Amino acid sequence: MSQTKLFAKKKTISCSLDYPEAHFLELFLEVAIQHPLNEYDRNVVRHFQSQLNQKLT
């Protein structure tokens, strides 16, 4: 039985936002992180926050 990688390539997702959209997405993520999340979901939200903050500065 040969083993294959489930995810052979790392997929990249691109998205473009106007400044007001990015600002409100940042506010939404701040609210979302306050709700009970499992560890994976919390890390994903933090990753999005980090990426968004880098783009907004």
pLDDT tens column, 5-57: 666 777 777 878 898 998 899 999 999 999 998 999 999 999 999 988 888 87
**Whole-number Å distance between alpha carbons of 33 and 47:** 11
Find, among 51, 44, 50, 56, the residue nearest to 14 by Cα.
51
> ∠ CA 20-13-6 to the nearest 5 degrees?
150
Map residue 38 onto helix, strand or coil. Answer: coil
Q: Domain ranges in the chain?
A: 24-56
For residues 14 and 37, the answer to whether their CB atoms sit within 8 Å is no
Residue type, 57: T
- pTM confidence score: 0.65
Residue 14: what pLDDT? 81
